[in-house]
């Protein structure tokens, strides 16, 4: 619970109304109830302003108090979206349970644990692990030998991080993600059986990386699979061994990146994009959902769609043509008939001549 005064101070706003009103939740303006705070950052929501039941409303300085039948407060700010972001971050931090190290967890004697670290019940911290300050390890998390976790990291329930992998500062790893599982490496022997190639590398997540739930990042065969600073990965993504993803790239769910592929900085990939193995993709390229990237892309800042992926605008034009193919087929068949008739006519005319 926060008061309107506390929220105003938190987001640097100008409060108009009762500073002691109590706020218990945040909601959309059309659904807000008494005890909740809401906001207006887009003109299309102005129509709800007069009738909302919210106890507090964050707005810009163009709004003024009105009489609408219940007590509420206005908190005016220069940038509504920035203010809401600050409030949400505060709420998120309040939701984190900092209960110290649970008696039901296991922490190896050789592990190094920083200050203000929380480790939940049934989590297992292996030999020579290092966990930085202000890091929260939820329940049923497994950290293998010599795993390094930075400062201000949040690891959600069920995460498994294999031996020697490294997580940077200010990272978030969501539930049931696996980091450092073996890469998909096999070779056929003389009998046609597939023999496993040992996977002895590791995974490194640089600072400010967020990994969604049920995503898998494989360890390198040797060397490192690297996710660079600021990368955001959605749920249900497969990243194979020895992949490298450049800074501030964003990749949506169900995308798969095959082994030894390197993506540049600021890559944007929609859902279900597939990247072939052993290719390089230059900085700034964007891929629409379900694009298949089969070969390296050397030019920067392109847009691609389709499988195999082609220039986005060419694909859009091709899609228009594709939808007309049945009609075009009928027209072609009709033209063929006309040509056959014309050919026969000409042949007959030549015989008569």
User: Using CA atoms, how far apart are residues 53 and 31, in angstroms rounded to an integer?
Assistant: 8
Q: Give one word for 140, left, alpha or beta, with left for phi > 0 and alpha for psi -120 to 50.
A: left
65, 70, 90, 241: the active-site residue: 241
241 catalytic, yes or no? yes
Phi, psi (5° rounding) for residue 117? -95, 140
Question: Taking a C-beta distance cutoff of 8 angstroms, is the pair 151, 167 a contact?
Answer: no
Rounded Cα–Cα distance for residues 262 and 31 (Å): 45
Tell me how far CA of residue 183 lies from CA of 131, 192, 218, 243, in angstroms.
25, 20, 5, 10
Over the range 51-75, which residues count as b (16 or more CB within 10 Å of their CB) and which as e?
ebbbbbbbbeeeeeeeeeeeebbbb
The number of beta carbons lying within 10 Å of the beta carbon of residue 177 is 23
Tell me which residues are annotated as active site: 241
């Amino acid at each position: 619970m926060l008061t309107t005064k506390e929220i105003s101070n938190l987001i640097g706003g100008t409060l108009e109304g009762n500073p002691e009103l109590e706020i218990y939740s945040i909601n959309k303006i059309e659904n807000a109830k008494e005890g909740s705070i809401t906001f207006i950052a887009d003109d299309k929501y102005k129509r709800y302003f007069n009738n909302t039941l919210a106890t507090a409303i964050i707005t810009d300085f163009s709004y003024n108090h009105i009489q609408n039948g219940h007590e509420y407060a206005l908190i005016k700010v220069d940038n509504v979206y920035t203010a809401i972001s600050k409030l949400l971050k505060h709420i998120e931090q309040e939701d984190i349970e900092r209960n110290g190290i649970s008696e039901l967890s296991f922490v190896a004697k050789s592990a190094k644990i920083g200050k203000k670290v929380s480790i939940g019940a049934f989590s297992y911290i292996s030999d020579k692990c290092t966990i930085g300050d202000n890091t929260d390890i939820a329940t049923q998390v497994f950290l293998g030998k010599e795993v390094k976790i930075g400062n201000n990291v949040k690891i959600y329930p069920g995460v498994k991080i294999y031996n020697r992998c490294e997580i940077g500062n200010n990272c978030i790893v969501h539930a049931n993600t696996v980091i450092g599982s073996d890469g998909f490496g096999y070779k056929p022997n003389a009998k046609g059986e597939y023999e496993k190639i040992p996977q002895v590398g590791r995974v490194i997540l640089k600072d400010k990386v967020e990994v969604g739930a049920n995503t898998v990042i494989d360890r390198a065969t040797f060397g490192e699979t690297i996710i660079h600073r600021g990368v955001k990965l959605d749920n249900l993504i497969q990243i194979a061994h020895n992949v490298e993803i450049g800074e501030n790239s964003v990749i949506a769910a169900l995308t798969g990146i095959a082994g030894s592929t390197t993506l540049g900085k600021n890559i944007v990939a929609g859902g279900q994009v597939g990247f072939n193995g052993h290719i390089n993709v230059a900085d700034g390229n964007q891929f629409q959902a379900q694009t298949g990237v089969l070969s390296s892309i050397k030019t920067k800042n392109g847009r691609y769609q389709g499988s195999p992926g082609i220039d986005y605008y060419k694909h859009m034009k091709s899609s228009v043509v594709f939808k007309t193919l049945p009609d075009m087929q009928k027209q072609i068949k009709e033209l063929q008939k006309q040509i056959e008739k014309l050919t026969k006519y000409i042949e007959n005319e030549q015989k008569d001549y």
